[in-house]
Structures are given as C-alpha cells and as structure tokens.
Amino acid sequence: MAQKQTSINEYLGSVFTSNGVTQDTENVSFLKNYNYNLPLIKSVDLRSETRDFLLEKQEYSLRVKPNSLGAISYQKKVYKNRIEGVEIANQLRFNEELKKRYVSIIDYFFTQKLITLEKERQGQLGDKLKILSQSIYSSNFDIKDLLETEDELLKLNLKLANLHETHSIQITHLHQLLNFHSDSLQLDFNNLISPAQIVQQPINFSSRESLLIKRQKLKLTTLENEKELGLAKSNQLLDYVQAKYGGRNNFFFNENFSIGIGLNVPFFGNNRQRKGDYYFQKLTEEGELKLLEEAVEYEQWLLRKKFENAIMNFESLNKQLEENSVSSILKTYRKMEGVSPMLLLNLVSLKTKKKIETLQSKHELYITYIDWLANQGDLFQQPFRNYLSRDIEIILR
C-alpha cells in the first residue's frame, strides 16, 4: 500500500484548522465587526394627553434622552478591553494546541527509536538465554545468571508490548489531528533539528510579557473602565430634552408650544457604594497579579534549569557513548579467536543499554526545548515557524 508522506510542517500546520482555533478566529471576527457603540440618543418618547376628550385640546410631547459623551467613550474602551481579553485567551489556546502537537510528534519519533533499540536488546537477551541453556551441564554453569536473564527478558517483553500500544495510540492521535484515516501514514523526519542545534539555542529570558500576566493586567484595566462607565452614566446631568405642543389656537403664533429639559440631581450615595465595590475588586485583582507574577517567574526559572540540566545530561551521556571503551574492546575481541561468545554478547548488550540511555536523554532534551519555547511565547509568534526543523522554517497556512 502506498504511504502518505507527511512533513512536520504539515502536521504542525493542522493547528490552524483545529476546531478550537477556528472557533476562536470566528468569535474574534464577529466581535470586531459588531456595533458595540452607545448611540448618542438613548431613547425617543412620543407622548399624548387629552383634556375633555376634545381633539383640539390634545397635547403632544416629544422627549429625547441622550447618552453622556463620557459613557459613550468608556463603553468603547470596555468593549475593546473585552475583545483584547478574548484575543489573549485565543493566543493561550493556540499556544497550548501547538505545544501539544510538538510534544506528540516528538514522543512518536522517540517511541519508534526506543522500540528499535529495545528489540535489539530482546534479541541479545534471547541469544544469551540460548547460550546459558546450552551450558546447563557444564561445570561453570550459573543458574542465577539464567534466572536473572529470563526475568529480564520477561520484563523487556512486557515493556515492548506497552511501547507498541503507546505507539499505536500515538499514531491514532496523529491521524485524528490530520484527519487522515489510513494506517499508512508516514512522517518525514529528514529535516529534524539535531541535538547539537538545540544545545546551541540561547536560553535567555524573553523580554516579551507573559500572556497570563498580560491577561491579569487587562482585567485591572477593564475594571477601571467599567467603573468610569458606571460613574459616567450615574453622573449624567442632562436626563432629557422635551418639546411640547399644548393644543390648537385660533391664531397660530399663540399656539401653546414649550421646550423643557430634565436634569438629574446627583446622589452621591450610589457612587460611594460603587467606588467601594471597585476598590475591593481592584485590591483582589492586584493581589492575584502579584501572586501570578511570582508564579510565572518561578516557572520560568524552573524550566530554564530543567532545560540546562537536559542539555548537560545529554552531552554527558552522548560523550560517554562516543568515548566508551566498549566499542574498541568489542572490535578487538571480534578479531581474536577463542573469545567467549557470552563475553561478546555482554559487551554488545552493554553498548545497546548506553544507546538507550542516550536516546532517553535526547528525548528529554527535545521536550524541554519545546517547553521552554512555549513558556517564552515563541511558538505562536508570527510568522509561525517550525522549531523542529533545521532552519526553523516558516509554516505556511
């Protein structure tokens, strides 16, 4: 069956068509196009009164209630704050969705590699078990070694079964994200960034403000504008303007016309209560902001240390693997005659174990690399880039 070759760029680009991101984009578009402005005229009332049920004595009045200019101005600010809050929430969701895709593709890649190495160990343990079984009647037979090898092989078989199950789940997840329903999906990792490139990446703290802190500060700004909006509405001096016609007259210029206005008498008790509620909420939100700043700072420090430790562990294990004397000894022994097969097998097995340890440290390096980028807000910055590619390619939408 022909396999579908899928690049990492295509896989990461699937975030743009995910349900959550698509819905967020539509919501922001709707909110931006919605007419949220307070009208200059709040309401228009047409009233009529009669005297003695005579049409010529009918009275008419037209009352217009305006909105205050201050209320109109702060209404715009409040609505823009809310749109910005939705946009920040969308950025957080997008960052999380993108990070999820990065982590899933890294886990998929290294699970494949780990299965290959564990199968090598499985074959090595099987060969060791055969050699031990054949020497059961020899004088130097070690039953403890046989039992330990059988136990190790059993555990390895269970581990491989779990790895295959994990790998199957990972493939299903990849298919769901790509909307691809065949088992023949094949990902192209030829352009995958190397560990050496990751190690060379700068891990300085970004000057970019955390989205969580930005959202909390926006809450305080919105709270301030909502308070001003409420005060502008309650302190509006002009309540209405009214034109009244009081009935017909034989002489037109003696017609009963009048103009009136209504004024709101300020009552400071309501404003005092409103201000009290505002200051209480402000103190609460400011306290939340301070705690959040401390938590974000600590998380950034923790992730930086984790990234640095991952680099140190990988470099240490990789250097140990490259400079390990096992390879040279193994090469020498293979050229010699009469060398015990068990000795050669133990050396090969030891080398495979070192490879597995190095692979696991490499896996941790890639994960912490993405965790750091996500924490610093790099993943969702435009133009969107593939941070798992060698040249940090731009992801085309």
pLDDT at 2: 47
Interval 265-275 mean pLDDT:
66
CB contact set of 344 (below 8 Å; sequence gap of 6+): 330, 333, 334
Q: Which domain holds residue 282?
A: 4-375
pLDDT at 333: 61
Give the residue from 393, 340, 359, 346 showing the smallest Cα distance to 11: 393
pTM of the model: 0.81
Bridge partners, residue 257, by sequence: 245
Q: In whole angstroms, what is the distance from residue 362 CA to residue 354 CA?
A: 12
- Classify residue 380: in a domain, yes or no: no
pLDDT (tens digit per residue) in 5-49: 788 888 888 888 776 677 777 777 777 777 677 777 777 888 877
What DSSP string describes 259-282? Answer: EEEEEPPP-HHHHHHHHHHHHHHH
Percentage of the chain modeled with pLDDT above 70: 84
- Classify residue 384: in a domain, yes or no: no
- Classify residue 28: in a domain, yes or no: yes
- Classify residue 394: in a domain, yes or no: no
- Classify residue 381: in a domain, yes or no: no
Q: How confident is the model at residue 230 (pLDDT cuts 50, 70, 90)?
A: confident
- Classify residue 393: in a domain, yes or no: no
Q: What is the CATH number of the domain that holds 34?
A: 1.20.1600.10
- Classify residue 348: in a domain, yes or no: yes
Interval 262-276 mean pLDDT:
69
Q: How many CA atoms lie within 13 A of 213 on its CB side?
A: 16
pLDDT at 4: 61
- Classify residue 390: in a domain, yes or no: no
Number of domains composing the chain: 1
Token representation of residue 201:
């990446």
DSSP 254: G
E-state strands within the chain: 4-7, 41-49, 59-66, 185-188, 238-245, 257-263
pLDDT (tens digit per residue) in 281-338: 889 999 999 999 999 999 999 999 999 999 999 999 988 887 776 666 666 666 666 5
pLDDT at 307: 94
Read off the amino acid at residue 339: V
Q: In whole angstroms, what is the distance from residue 6 CA to residue 28 CA?
A: 31
Bridge partners, residue 187, by sequence: 6
Distances (CA, A) of 271 to 68, 226, 231, 233, 387: 17, 13, 7, 11, 53
